[in-house]
Amino acid sequence: MNEPLAERIRPKKLEDYISQQHLVGKNGVLTNLITKGIIPSLILWGPPGIGKTTLANIIATASKRPFYTLSAISSGVKDVREVIEKAKKSGGLFTAKNPILFIDEIHRFSKSQQDSLLGAVEKGWVTLIGATTENPSFEVIPALLSRCQVYILNSFDKTDLIALVQRAIKEDKLLSTKTIKLKETEALLQVSGGDARKLLNIFELLVAAEEEIDITNKLVLEKIQQNTSRYDKTGEQHYDIISAFIKSIRGSDPNAAVYWLARMIEGGEDVKFIARRLLILASEDIGNANPTALILANNTFQAVSTIGNPESRIILSQCAVYLANSAKSNASYLAIGEAQELVKKTGDLSVPLHLRNAPTKLMKDLDYGKAYLYAHNYPDSFIDQEFLPHEISGTKLYKPANNARENQFKDILKKRWKDRYNY
């Protein structure tokens, strides 16, 4: 039997589907839709190896619809049109009979490829189910996204993953004939990185040549020799290397930054994914210590989106080196975090009357905006007045970091606000 374990025990019905109870549980939204026979076009968004493809198959089977599948990695516009023509011939014009077209890694479809899906979705020739590991708000064109419901699949927790292994031991025809004991599972779960498919592949490798085996942490670490130089765009390496890349820039090391960048480029990583992370870093870790960093990062994102490979590597390298060499500040990042925590603690505090808008006579009669002082009417366009609700007056949320530009901010704030902004 050459079929991998992950395929052999792939769930065939909702009752066997592990996790995602908010979608497929007794009162889950997808359970209710399947029961009613109404399946909208939808996007399944979540990390790799959590059952997006499996769920799409189950939906098709449970709703008794023809099922067609494409991979965004290997399919072009021609392939999309061909499968749509097949779907048109196999289905009806009613929503309940529409064939399902499943597109794995739909975020890798170009704009033209996604455009080619629009007509079929709008006219009801197919019900689209797309699977993505990336935020569909960024990767799916607005016209297509507006015609789909987005459902988020959560990462498997420890309990889910152990239950999956236990099911394999009990139900798989090959494994059920063996004597397998799960004595320790920490290493097994760690090397799988929360990816169920990877977990089952590793587990099958461990027990394949054994009739009796005790699974321990030591056994797993000895038998599973990971090639850490291999870059898996959908697995643990994807997240580990982007983490190393970001931390190298945050730590002001351009050598390490370009090394990890090269690892991603050589591994075929999506250049827009890299550029998007640089854009976030420019604000989170550099901020107002060097506001130009955000402008450069944004221009980098626009440039690589236009140019693509292989030239994007040069632009990404320039941006990464610039950000690594830049002064750093997370003051704005910390400020919004503290502000959000304050909002959660204090609730919806009333806007002070002098800051309220007064578009009607009644509002003016109620003193809305009455005591507001228009800053431009005063020297240096500044006048000392209260802008926070009185319950939290004087709260300091923004604390400038110690760098040349934000030290200027400190001086300006202290001059204007005296003790209120005295750091």
Section 280-308 average pLDDT: 94
CA atoms of 129 and 56, how far apart (whole Å):
7
Assigned fold of 20-152: Rossmann fold (3.40.50)
- State residue 303's pLDDT score: 94
Fold of 158-223: Helicase, Ruva Protein; domain 3 (1.10.8)
CB atoms within 10 A of CB 222: 10
Asked if 286 contacts 293 with a C-beta cutoff of 8 angstroms, the reply is yes
pLDDT of residue 94: 42
- CATH architecture classification, 236-325: Up-down Bundle (1.20)
pLDDT tens profile 152-167: 998 888 899 999 999 9
| Cβ partners under 8 Å of residue 97, min gap 6 | 65, 91
Distance CA 265, CA 275 (A): 12
Weakest-pLDDT range from 73-77, 126-130, 139-143, 273-277: 73-77
- What are the residues facing 268 on neighbouring strands? none
* 202-216 pLDDT, tens digit each: 898 888 878 889 999
Which pLDDT does position 227 carry in this prediction? 38
Write down the pTM of the prediction.
0.58
Domain ranges of the chain: 20-152, 158-223, 236-325, 347-421
* Number of continuous H segments (helices) and E segments (strands) in the chain: 20, 7
| pLDDT tens per residue, range 177-198 | 989 999 999 988 887 877 888 8
Q: Class of the 347-421 domain?
A: mainly alpha
DSSP, residue by residue, 295-328: HHHHHHHHHHHHH-TTTHHHHHHHHHHHHHHS--
Instruction: Return the percentage of the chain with pLDDT > 90, whole number.
Output: 40
Query: Matching CATH topology for 20-152 and 347-421?
Result: no
Nearest to 111 by CA among 89, 139, 92: 139
pLDDT bracket for residue 232 (50, 70, 90): low
